[in-house]
Structures are given as C-alpha cells and as structure tokens.
Structure 1
Amino acid sequence: MTADPVAKWEEFLRSRYWDDLLELADSYPDERSLVVQFPDLDKFDPEFAEELLENPEQVLEAAQAALLELDLPMDVYMDRAHVRIAGLPRHYKTRELRSDHIGKLLAIEGLVRTATEVRPKIVSAAFQCQRCGFTFFKEQTGNKFEDQNLKCQNQACDRGGPFKLVLAQSKFVDAQKIRVQESPEDLRGGEQPQTLDVELEDDLAGRIFPGDRVVVNGVLKSYQRSTPQQGKSTYFDLFHKGNSVEMTEQEFEEIDISQEEEEQILEMSRDPDMYENVRKSIAPSIYGYDDVKEALGLQLVSGFEKHLPDGARIRGDIHILLVGDPGIAKSQLLRYMTKISPRGIYTSGKSSTSAGLTATAVKDELGDGRWTIEAGALVLADKGIAAIDEMDKMDNEDKSALHEAMEQQSYHPLTEIQLSDGRKVRIGDFVDDLMSARSEDVVQGVDCEILRLGTDVMVQSTDFDKIIDLAVDRVSRHRAPDHFIKIKYSNGREIIVTPEHPVYVSNDGIACVPACQSKVGDLVPAQESALNDPKRQAHTNPETASSVIGSLKVEEIKVVPNDGDFHANYVYDITVEPTHTFISQGVVLHNTISVAKAGVMATLKSRCSLLAAANPKLGRFDKYEPIAPQINLTPALMSRFDLIFVLTDDPDTKRDSAIAQHILKSNYAGELSTQIAWNPEISQDDIDNALTVIKPAIDPELLRKYVAYARKKIFPTLTDEAKEYFLRYYVGLRMQGQDTNKPVPVTARQLEALIRLGEASARLRLSDKVTIGDAQRVVKILEGCLRKVGVDPETGFLDADIIASGTTKSTRDRTKSVIDVIRDISKEQQGPAPRDAVLDRAVELGIERAKAEEIIDRMRRDGDVFEPRPGMLKLP
C-alpha cells in the first residue's frame, strides 16, 4: 500500500478537485458528497487507482481523513463529508460476481426491484456505566448491534457493566437497503434475473426508487448464512456496501450496437419489404395473423412521449389487446414479443396481483421486517413491453391497479374543494397554480405529473371516527377521459369525476365503488355538522362511524361528455395521508394512491407499452352479440387500448389446412434438429430446408437492436399530407354521428391512437417523417379493429360507446324507452306499473318482448328499478 495514502489524497484533491472541494465546503452540511471520477485518479497515479480497486476500505478511509486535514479558506469542519467514487472501468452483472471479488471496489449494474424505507442506523453507540456514571462510545460497524462483552473505559472503574444505551449522545446515520436485479434486456432465453442487496447510507439513502436503472459503486462484502435449526452454514451470501450511485436512464443505451451492425440496420431500413420482414420475424412458428403481427411490429417501436409547454405529457406507448377463443396462440405471441423487445416482461393474469403489476409495500428480510416497496411488471418494463396473459382472470382490485397505470382516477377541474381555513377553490386552478409556481419540483408519475407538498396546504379529513386537519401530501394532474360522472348529493353539493374514480358509499358499512357504479339513493358518509339540509337522510351507522359522521343521499347521477362547458384537457387529484380522504362542503371524498401501506409511499415510473390477452366471458364469442360486452374487462380499461384485435376460431377448410401444414412442417424441422446428432443420414442442408418455414426473416438479436436504434434515435414528425389524411378520416367518421339517431362512431382517443401508430410506422423504417403512406397503413389497421369490436351488430354502425361504456346506442335507446314507459304507466296508475303492461307497451314501440324483459332484469340488478311487490315496477 502507498506509504502515506492520506498525503496522496491531499495532493490529488488539491491539484484536481480544489474547486469542487470549495463548492462542497460552501454548501456543507446540506451537501456532503465529493464525487471523484475514477479516470481522473487513474491519470493522476495509476498505481494508487489500482490500490483503490483492490483495497477500497483502507484507501477510502484515508480519503475521509484527507478531507479533514485539508486547510480550507473557510471555517468548516466536514466530519460528515464523504469521498464518493464514480466512473469505474468495468460494470458487473450480478451473475458475474465470484468469491475473488469480495472486498474489491466494483460497479454493479441493474434495475432496482425493491427498496426499504429510510430509517436511522446507529453508527456510534453511547453507553453509560451504571456503576460509575462514565459514558463511552462503541463503534457499530456491522448490521448486528454490538453491546456484549463491553468493559467500562473509566480506568478507575474498569467494570463489565451493567451499561445503559444513551440514545441522545449516540450517533445515527440515515440508511436504506435496495435490491438490484439484472435488467430484462440483459437476459437471454429463459434466464431468470439474479439479484444483489445493496446498503446505502447518509445522503445516498432515499434517492433511489424501484424501477430506477442504476450503477452502484461500492465494496462487495459477504456474510455467513445461518438458521436457528442448523446454525452457521459453510455458505456465504453477498451484499454490496454502496459508495455512490449513478443513474442510467438513457433509453436503450444499455444495448451495444457496433458500427457494422449500425450499417446493417440502416441497410435493412431501406428495404422496401421492411414491414413484411418485421411481420415475418414475429412468432414465425405461428401461422397467419398478419394484421396482428404488423401491429405488434409497430408496438415494438411505438410512438414517442411528448411534453407540452404547460407541462402536460402525451404518451407515445401503444397498448394492444388480443381477445380470442381458446387455443389460438395468444400466449405464444405474448411470450415471443417479450423476447424480441429490448425490454420485455411477461406475466399471467392468473398469478398477477396489483403488486405484481405496478408496485406494493411488503415486509421481507431485505428490510429486516420493515416495509419495502417492490416494483412490479409495469415498472420493470419501463420504456419496453409488459405482456399480461389471461388478463380477464385478474381480480377486480388488480384490474384497478392496472387501470391506474393506463388511465386516471381523478376529479374534473371544475370540482370545488374546501381547505381547512374555509377557502373554497376549484381543484384545476389550485393544482395548476401550484405546479406553475414549483415547476422544477414536478415529477413524472404513473402516467401523470405529481408535485409533492410539505405542510403548506391543509384540508379537513376523517378516519370515520373523528374530523382532523391534515396536510395535502401531493397533488397530481392527468390526461382527461372522454366523459365524466357528475354526482349530486342531497345537500346540494356536486362533484364531477372520472368514471373509475372511487367514491364512498355507506349503504352496508363504508366502502368504495367506482363512480360509474354508484346509484341514485346511495347513502354516502358526510360530516355531521354539514347535515343541516332538510332533505338529508337522518342516518348514522354506529358500527362504522361515530357521531361526527352521518349520511347524505345521492340525488342525481349524470354522464357528462368531455365537451362544451365541461371540456377539460386534464383531470386532477390530491392525496392526503394516511386517511386518503378529504371533506369538502360536508361530503367525505376519496383520493387515489399508487402505493400506500404502513406509511410507505413511492412514485414509480410506468411508461411501457401494454400487450394483453383475454378470453371471452363464456369461453367463445357469440358473433351475433356486440364483442365488447363479452370481454370480462371494464369499459374504462378497454378504452385505454389503442388496438383491440378479436381472434375467433371459426372452422374454415382452406385456413385450417394451411395451419395444419404449418404445424406439421414446424414439428418436422424440430425432429430433424433433434436427430442430427445420432443419425448420419440427416444433413445440415436437410435441416436448413425444413427450418425455412419457421425461420424469422430478421435474426431476433438483430431485430432487438434495430428496435433499440429506432427508439433511441428516430423521432418523426407528421407531414402536411399525413395530417390532412388523418383529419379527413377522423372528421368523416364523426360526421356519420351528426344524425341524432345514429351513434358517435369514434372519439378523439382514436385520433391520438392514429398519431402514435403513424409515428411508429415511420420509426420502423427509420424515417423522420410520417408520410401519407404511413397514415394509410395505420388507418387500415385501426379500421380493421374498429369493424370487429366497435360495430353494433343490430345497426351495422360504428359505435364508440360499445368500448367506452360497454353499451350500444341502440341498447341505450331501448332502455330509455322502457324507463319512459314505466314512468308513463306509473303516472296513469298513480302507483307502480304492472310488468306485463310495461312489456306490452314496449312491444307496441317496436321493442322485442325478450329484449324488453332483458332490459327490465338488468335495471333491477343495477338498482335502476325495483319491485315493491311481485309483478309491479317502480322507478327510484
């Protein structure tokens, strides 16, 4: 080792990092880290730099000492400052670590899968002798608290205790553990990602979140495994003592593309058959589905994210849903896509929970029994593709978590909220003003912008036991949906929310339901002091609330389109911890969260393209009924998909024969590949000829690099011709809905999808212009999907509401007619309407009796009509 490493560090810092050192001293203790680039040290003294790699703990200890000994021009003692090393010459993956690396300074590259909460860690424990009163200190160097075999350091005492831990004089440091997992793009075939636990302290703690891509520089260490049953093991586990963390968020920088490969990629992009080649390279062992494979090729590159001057974000990710009869290779398509995507994660709806999709707070050994945040598939696939198979098998709670990553659950900007000081503000203006004033603090969250607040803004909240004033933890802003739900309460209060926004009801205990499922007559929790309206329902459930919480009634519910007086570009939310409630004009309102348990909060990135597969509710599709209601997904979730492909398994002699031949040829190729090792009669030419049917046009590894290159370097713009084509197509379809008797064919959501698809089409040929050819190609793809899933089979017209609300216009019109019939007959009878009379009059209006029966039964289930006695119908 260098004779005097402290002097060597002093010389280096004076000559190379003096200005940085002065900046640190000027901002200390708010800033406590001096980041030294390893190449600078290597140029200064290669032998000393090598010594740092081989004996990092001694050399870094000398660096800390040098910081204290340097004579600075300001009066500051930087005893808590750190020298942190960055830019190490080699980055290791977890699977590359061996016993020779223990004790060395290494850079570990990967993706943060899990992170604990930040908590104080004792580093110097003060003990007071209970015999003589002397206080001494014991350094705590490991993870196990050292309080055994102590001896009083007062020479006059020199006793072995007892000792009392004095917390007030002990020294603590912030500490956090993270678990780093190998990145999806670094895995091949069926490899499972390996993980490594990392310990971070002081100013490194709390800066890293699950989903972050990082390089952690630090000292690799080991500890002995042990169990209560078997005691100490001969095997040791590894962990990393972090010295510095470098963020590696540049999109697809991790995929190395050589000069030769770049030339090959550019040559491929000029091939006029490029789209065909990409299509033939996606799951070539699966016959057909050319339109689906073409769309999947566009999803690989997707559009690109745009940030508007007002801070809003327009997503570029393309979401695709495959819905079809069983046994038509949906799962194989999903698995293949995650293999050829530069970042791909596959998960199944059967086993996926909301934790497995977005994130969750869990207790495990990483946090020593404390809460940790664990990233899910949508976070790990950030800027890639997350494939969710059997999405229809997911629980409603898990679908809600997925919906949050794709959509928003928020309030209309006109919704009025009341602050604890009595001020009433519109939530849109309130959040916009906060974000405008603190734009540098706004961060990207789950498809939204989020601003964390301190204790500046207070609102009234409740835990349904008492009313309390709490600070707003954060506010958020999201892209607005096509329509809203407007709810009016019996005290005159109104709220306007997105359809999936949770609202409280207290009909049978306090619970949450989506706004689109709330009903007139529902009781909702409210502040008792606000219940002075004569129309209020005098009701309080003693099992769920004390006297401070009573109930109001829902008086009116309306679906409000996002246009006219209610047009909004964004919707808004505020988050109040830990109750997740706030009170406005007496009504207890709900606020949404991404991850909340035991006070652990995180804002995670979820910017991936979603590829999902689902089966029909009843196993197979009924071609004579609308497709959308046959899928076990909420309309709000379905409407977030840019493309929905309906894949049916209809008997067809020509197609079935082609599929069978393809399967037989694929199996034959596999048989030959297996036999060549021991059958000398089989040649490589025989195998190559047999493999032609399933050989991809583009090598999968090269296709991965092609996609990475396109996403990294190509950001096309729409040409005037493409804009005009999109405009004529969109307006032309909208004009078909001008007749009040016809449904609205498409919404602005389809136009946004066309733009994303057009950008992807240009990206796929590495062009910086979206041409009219791109526009025509993607319109054909979207039109094909709409004709399958968005057409009312009764009328043959495109109907956007089939996907947006799960109900066709013709069904809505019939329902309205039946309601009018019940109302008219009730007036005539001056009481409930006889069911048979309602059915007879419905038939007179041209409604089939069976459909009228179906409408009445559905309205009864939904609470829109009830039977005060058998055979009699009454509206609420």
Structure 2
Amino acid sequence: DIAEKIRDSIAPTIFGMNWEKRALTLQQFGGVDKKLPDGTRIRGDIHMLMMGDPGLAKSQLLRSAARIAPRGVMAAGKSTSAAGLTAAAVRDEFGEGRWTLEAGTLVLASGGIACIDEIDKMSEEDRSSMHEAMEQQTISIAKAGISAQLKSKCSVLAAANPKRSRFDMSMPLPPQVNMPVSLLSRFDVFFIIEDKPDPEKDSLLADKILESHRAGEELVPGEAIDEDDLAIRTLSGPIDSRMLRLYISHAKKLRPVMTLQAQTLIKEHYTDLRKRYHNTDDQDKTMPITPRQLESIIRLAEAHAKMYLSETVDVPHAQGAIDLMDLFLNVTLRGDVDLAFFGSDAEQRKKDIDPRLRILGIIDERGTNGMDEQEIYGLMEEEGYSRNKIEKTIAKLHEDGEIIERDFKFVRKV
C-alpha cells in the first residue's frame, strides 16, 4: 500500500510511532484551499501538535518532516520571537536608509511546512502572533511606517513538552502544557506521546537504536554509500527521499472533489459524535467535536485522496480521516474536547455547579406543585452529588427560609 510505504519513508530510523507518522504523511499532502464566491477563504493546510515526555524523538520527526517537504523551515521556540515568526522591520543601512521587511519563519515556509520545536518555551506575546497565520493564513504588519499583509499559506508542525517533564494522564491537559486554549484549538490533530515501559517494545527499540549506531560507524564521511549493506538497507525507507519529494509536490497540485457518499459518511460521523456526548441539561452540554474539528476531518479526507492521486474524495479516504480523528478524540482527549481545552469533563462540570442553585432550579421546574425530598435526592445523586451534601444543602435552604415544606413537598418561598 502506497500509504504505508510513504509512512515508513518518513524518519525510517525512528522505531514505531506509526500513528504520528501517518498524521505527518497526511500533513505533507494537505487538504484543498477553497475560495468561496463571497470572498471567504477556507484553508487546506493541516496543523499538527505533538506533546510528550522528553527524549521520545519529537524533534527528529520535525526535522524529518522539514527535509521531506518541498519547502520546510525549522525554528526553535526558545530562540524565536514574534518578529522571527512573522516579519521584522529592518533599516537598509547600505541604501537610502529606508525601512524594509524581512520575512520570518511562517512567511518563508509559505507553500510548505513550518516546524516549531519546543513551542511551549515561547513567551505568550510571541505565540499570539501565530493566531492569524494559522487560521487566516496571512500576517498583517504595521510597523516603521509600513502597512502590509503577507501570505503564510503553510502547515504548522509543532512539538511541546509538559510543564513538569512528564505527563500525568489523570489531570487535564492545559495545566500541564504551557499553551493557551486559543492556540491549542487551532491545531487539527495533536498527539500525546507517553513513555510507557513495555519490555517487548523496549527490546525492539534498543535493536533499532543499536542498528542506527552501527550503520553510522560503518559510514565514512566523504565515501560512497554501499546500498547493498544490510545495516544501511534496514535504516532506509521504501521510497527514496528525492522521489518522495517529487511525489508530494505533484500530489499537492491536485484538487480532489468529495463524493456524496463520502459527504454522507462524514456527516453521519459528525452528528453521531454530537449526539453521543450531548446532555439534556443546557448547562452541562458537552460538545466533543465542534465545526472546527469537522473541517479537520474534511482536510484529512482530502489529504488521503491526494496521497492516492485520486480525483475524488471517496468513502475509504473519508474513513481513513475518521479513524485518525477517532484516535485523536478517544485516546488523546479521552472523548471530550472540553476536557482538553477547558480542563473539566461533563462529570466534573456537574459537580462544580453550586448545589444550592441546582436544588432551587429543580424545585422551580415543578412550580407551585413542589417536589418530594426523595425525588430531589434521586436527581442530585444522578448528577454526582453525595447524599450527605444534599441533606446539608436542603437543611440550610430550609433554615434560611428560601424553601418551605408544604404537604410533604418542598416549594420556593414567594
């Protein structure tokens, strides 16, 4: 299968990480840029973020992606400023002394991929300069008497480390990643890469690393590479890097059109996800997928079609995109986008609501008829409140005169 061959040709010296490499492959091809009749532009570039424990080859994956892309620019978060990402105003000392603009990473990478390592180490002010570039794919400059709008039609591939060196999967993501929600939500897909002990995997990983070092020791700088050597062959991808770049450059020019069957499949998947996590209580509605993620699925499906040089986006392409998005939602985010972006899932949000307000709301729903005490216990316990807390809250409301008991039922005091 061509998809597997391309995936295995990206960073062939890195063991495993198949899902991450698959997402990187789709990012190389990207979706279809669209300009609608009213002038609205929908980006086709796919943004991806990898967050994980240190020492798991994230930086190596970024460098490999930058090498393979027809145009790839690498930047390090710690040493990158807002001007370095967008554009800097520089005085021309050798000419007439006028101010000129020098393009930054996101402008230089237009038409390719901008790889930003350790994006969590950047300051908040510098990171905020990426918002416009990632969604509108333009960079507006107004400095030194120059007002201009530069194009930055590039995919962003970023890597980040957790705040305390390692991830704690029992905690929400935002406190562990030094990044604002407004930037996190702009990434189509992001992976959490954990360093879990696994004897079988560790053994295979050690073999791969030892093979890499052995091959590196046998290669003498300046001498021709013996491609028949077993150690060299095992560390080479199925497709030559030059051929892969040509293939990607050709495929990126295609504009596959989505079939009705693929549209129906994506629509059904989207509505099913909305229903699955949709709660009846307006205050507790959890949207595990938003229109922004729906657009991500469409872009991934278009990238699948481009990878196979297809003129149409068919059902298998849409299914491949859905599989990747399912992995992103169910594994990385544990099935709840709000959990990742806002740090609380549906159960936690229910418990965070003031029990006094909730009890008064329940009684108000019944109006003058009132509500039986046991009914209140039943409803509140379903929402995660303890019986002891409910008893204390009802007693306090009764004592304060906010509710009164009439015919063995509680009603609001008018």
Which category of TM-score, normalised to the shorter sequence, fits these structures? 0.7 to 0.9
Equivalent residue of 2:32, what SS?
coil
- Within the candidate set 723, 727, 746, 2:289 is matched to 746
Q: 2: distance between equivalents of 1:733 and 1:602?
A: 42
Matched, 1:664 2:210: yes
Tell me, yes or no, if the aligned pair for 2:351 and 2:385 is still in contact at 8 Å. no
- Within the candidate set 318, 324, 332, 1:775 is matched to 318
Distance 1:819 1:704, change over 3 A: farther
Tell me, yes or no, if the aligned pair for 1:639 and 1:803 is still in contact at 8 Å. no
Distance 1:706 1:817, change over 3 A: same
Question: 1:567-594, CA deviations, whole angstroms, 9 ceiling, x for partnerless residues?
Answer: xxxxxxxxxxxxxxxxxxxxxxxxxx83
- Please tell me the residue identity of whatever aligns with 2:300: L
Q: How does 1:91-490 map to 2 (within 5 A)?
A: 273-363=1-91, 365=93, 369-407=97-135, 446-447=136-137
Larger strand share, 1 or 2: 1
- Residue 209 of structure 1: aligned partner: none
- Residue 309 of structure 2: aligned partner: 766
Distance 1:675 1:317, change over 3 A: closer
How far did residue 670 of structure 1 move? Answer: 1.5
Tell me, yes or no, if the aligned pair for 1:377 and 1:386 is still in contact at 8 Å. yes
- Residue 328 of structure 2: aligned partner: 785
- Within the candidate set 647, 650, 653, 2:193 is matched to 647
Q: 1: distance between equivalents of 2:13 and 2:278?
A: 46
Tell me, yes or no, if the aligned pair for 1:302 and 1:318 is still in contact at 8 Å. yes
- Please tell me the residue identity of whatever aligns with 2:137: D
- Within the candidate set 247, 260, 274, 1:734 is matched to 274
How far did residue 811 of structure 1 move? Answer: 3.6
- Please tell me the residue identity of whatever aligns with 1:648: E
How far did residue 375 of structure 1 move? Answer: 1.1
Q: 1: distance between equivalents of 2:235 and 2:288?
A: 40
TM-score (norm 2): 0.82
Q: How does 1:15-164 map to 2 (within 5 A)?
A: none
Question: 1:347-392, CA deviations, whole angstroms, 9 ceiling, x for partnerless residues?
Answer: 0101111111112323353565443222111111111100000000
- Within the candidate set 697, 701, 719, 2:238 is matched to 697
How far did residue 819 of structure 1 move? Answer: 8.9
Q: 1: distance between equivalents of 2:116 and 2:141?
A: 20
Q: 2: distance between equivalents of 1:762 and 1:645?
A: 23
The structure with more radius of gyration:
1
TM-score (norm 1): 0.40
- Residue 721 of structure 1: aligned partner: 261
- Within the candidate set 789, 795, 800, 2:337 is matched to 800
Q: 2: distance between equivalents of 1:396 and 1:367?
A: 35
Q: 2: distance between equivalents of 1:353 and 1:799?
A: 33
How far did residue 402 of structure 1 move? Answer: 1.0
How far did residue 298 of structure 1 move? Answer: 0.7
- Residue 614 of structure 1: aligned partner: 160
Equivalent residue of 1:603, what SS?
strand
Q: 1: distance between equivalents of 2:94 and 2:344?
A: 48
Equivalent residue of 2:120, what SS?
helix
Tell me, yes or no, if the aligned pair for 1:360 and 1:595 is still in contact at 8 Å. no
Q: 1: distance between equivalents of 2:16 and 2:96?
A: 52
Q: 2: distance between equivalents of 1:766 and 1:368?
A: 50
- Please tell me the residue identity of whatever aligns with 2:104: G
Equivalent residue of 2:229, what SS?
helix
How far did residue 782 of structure 1 move? Answer: 1.1
Matched, 1:815 2:352: yes
Q: 1: distance between equivalents of 2:84 and 2:300?
A: 28
- Residue 757 of structure 1: aligned partner: 300
- Please tell me the residue identity of whatever aligns with 1:697: P
Distance 1:677 1:281, change over 3 A: closer
- Please tell me the residue identity of whatever aligns with 2:117: D
Q: 2: distance between equivalents of 1:393 and 1:676?
A: 37
Q: 1: distance between equivalents of 2:352 and 2:106?
A: 39
Tell me, yes or no, if the aligned pair for 1:318 and 1:756 is still in contact at 8 Å. yes
Q: 1: distance between equivalents of 2:156 and 2:175?
A: 21
Q: 1: distance between equivalents of 2:15 and 2:72?
A: 23
Tell me, yes or no, if the aligned pair for 2:33 and 2:41 is still in contact at 8 Å. yes
Question: 1:372-420, CA deviations, whole angstroms, 9 ceiling, x for partnerless residues?
Answer: 222111111111100000000000011100122124xxxxxxxxxxxxx
Equivalent residue of 1:350, what SS?
helix
Report the count of equivalent residues. Answer: 364
My pick for the range that moved more, 729-738 or 389-398, is 729-738
Question: 1:98-135, CA deviations, whole angstroms, 9 ceiling, x for partnerless residues?
Answer: xxxxxxxxxxxxxxxxxxxxxxxxxxxxxxxxxxxxxx
How far did residue 816 of structure 1 move? Answer: 2.9
How far did residue 774 of structure 1 move? Answer: 0.9
Q: 2: distance between equivalents of 1:677 and 1:710?
A: 34
How far did residue 847 of structure 1 move? Answer: 11
Question: 1:266-297, CA deviations, whole angstroms, 9 ceiling, x for partnerless residues?
Answer: xxxxxxx1001101110001111111111111
How far did residue 765 of structure 1 move? Answer: 1.0
Distance 1:306 1:693, change over 3 A: same
Q: 2: distance between equivalents of 1:616 and 1:633?
A: 10
Q: How does 1:540-555 map to 2 (within 5 A)?
A: none
- Residue 709 of structure 1: aligned partner: 250
How far did residue 344 of structure 1 move? Answer: 0.6
Q: 2: distance between equivalents of 1:820 and 1:629?
A: 28
- Please tell me the residue identity of whatever aligns with 1:667: H
Runs of at least 4 residues off by over 4 Å: 366-369, 675-678, 818-821
Q: 1: distance between equivalents of 2:233 and 2:387?
A: 57
- Please tell me the residue identity of whatever aligns with 1:700: S
Distance 1:354 1:675, change over 3 A: closer
With a CA cutoff of 8 Å and minimum separation of 6, indicate the structure with the bigger relative contact order: 2
Q: 1: distance between equivalents of 2:121 and 2:208?
A: 31
Distance 1:351 1:693, change over 3 A: same
Q: 1: distance between equivalents of 2:336 and 2:255?
A: 33
Q: 2: distance between equivalents of 1:623 and 1:375?
A: 39
Equivalent residue of 2:220, what SS?
helix
Tell me, yes or no, if the aligned pair for 1:736 and 1:744 is still in contact at 8 Å. no
Equivalent residue of 1:365, what SS?
coil
Question: 1:811-834, CA deviations, whole angstroms, 9 ceiling, x for partnerless residues?
Answer: 43333327959x99xxxxxxxxxx
- Within the candidate set 173, 178, 182, 1:627 is matched to 173
Q: 1: distance between equivalents of 2:221 and 2:152?
A: 46
How far did residue 447 of structure 1 move? Answer: 3.0
How far did residue 629 of structure 1 move? Answer: 3.8
RMSD: 2.7
Q: How does 1:576-587 map to 2 (within 5 A)?
A: none
Larger helix share, 1 or 2: 2
- Please tell me the residue identity of whatever aligns with 1:395: S
Question: 1:38-63, CA deviations, whole angstroms, 9 ceiling, x for partnerless residues?
Answer: xxxxxxxxxxxxxxxxxxxxxxxxxx
Tell me, yes or no, if the aligned pair for 1:361 and 1:596 is still in contact at 8 Å. no
- Please tell me the residue identity of whatever aligns with 1:289: M
